[in-house]
Chains A and B, each alone.
Chain A
């Protein structure tokens, strides 16, 4: 009997340890996507009751892309929230901010719990006091049980207090801890005034997001826009690479040649040119790629190109 009890207690302790470790581990979800989490907290302005993360409306999709792009530039979730609130009003936020009337809303659960629990506790206290002091002896009063040794029962009061404290601690713990722990708030960064003035970094981040989503046509379109704003070789080459992926080799060739004209033998430009030529002019392509390998034998793509040239 005693052994069973000890075994049971041990099992409970092991499980408790497992639960604590599991909860601790679980504080940071494994597939944590800050963009999705932020989008889930925003309401789709064109829909009814759907979050930006879930909505299928085009504007919500655009907002998701904007969030991803801005996060990619290192903006904090708070800055992005402010950015969207300035455009869509406070109603874009799914939870009210904890100030002004929003604060009152956050206080509702606390006040309601207090308003319910306080009179109950108060009334219960009043019951007990006369019993303890014996100041108001009432023969017929069955409320207060005689505290004799014959009734080793847990009094209602203790159960109530323990239960209430447990439940309140649990509720408070979950309410306070969960969102804060889950919020992997990155170090606060002062708002960057230059970022909003210069759209090119925005566009590049956006285009990269599109590439990650295999939406190369859209990415190409964005690179083109960015190139108009800022005719830089890096953007030309990114655009060329995107065009190669969607099979528009002619334009990619032109872009790579333009870069080579101003900066001859730039390894990346040679690489793009070589890849772009592969479809129409395999011999020229091999030549260009060999030149690329000569110039930059340590390039990240070199191994693959070597393989390509060797086999082709």
Chain B
């Protein structure tokens, strides 16, 4: 009842406009809230959206000469499953990951598995030393001294691992170190192992 005296003074048009402002504000808040609620409910959505190296896409080219001098071309490996691992000697988790990759390669070579390790922004000597230290000398290592290959593959850093299936498409991708469990879950189906 205290407001009535004021209310009477309002011209009709103004009163109408004032009504709309809160309504619009409410609509805005509702829309914002709904969208943010979607984000809160699903915090993991859309973390990888790079079209070039997304699962299902053909991988970017990967050619060159390995540390041992043999030519490597990913396109020529159609029909085999390829693990492409980006690593560097200056990266701690990569150091821990290399033995696992070497072991995986040894285990599944008979199933047409090929592992290509790309040494990102690293010197040849440091990579050789790391391979010797981790017992992973038999890995095919492709030097990427300036990191151009890593960028071309849309990598976020090292370690990063891509799985390329027999049809020559990217099947999966792991940012950060891979574990034996991850390889079991994602790699073995590609190899046709139940």
Contact = CB atoms under 8 A, between A and B. Distances in A.
Check whether chain A touches chain B (CB < 8 angstroms).
yes
Interface string A61-92: 11101100100000000000000101111110
B30 interface: no
Interface in A32-56: 45-46
Interface string B166-189: 000000000000000000000000
| Interface footprint category on B | 20 to 34
Report, as a range, how many residues of chain A touch the other chain: 20 to 34
A228 B68 CA distance: 13
A218 B148 contact: no
B134 interface: no
A229 B123 contact: no
Q: Main SS of chain B's interface residues? A: loop
Contact of A89 (B51, B65, B123, B147): B51
A127 B14 CA distance: 15
Interface stretch (B77-85, B100-108, B151-159): B151-159
B154 to A, nearest CB: 3
B118 to A, nearest CB: 12
A217 B123 contact: yes
Nearest to A217: B123
Nearest to A62: B147
A218 B154 contact: no
B63 interface: yes
Given A59-B150, A62-B150, A228 B71 contact: yes
Contacts of B143: 221, 225
B41 to A, nearest CB: 21
B175 to A, nearest CB: 9
Interface of B: 49-53, 61, 63-65, 71, 88, 90, 120-121, 123-124, 143, 145-148, 150-158
5 nearest A-B residue pairs (beta carbon): A62-B147, A87-B154, A221-B145, A228-B65, A89-B49
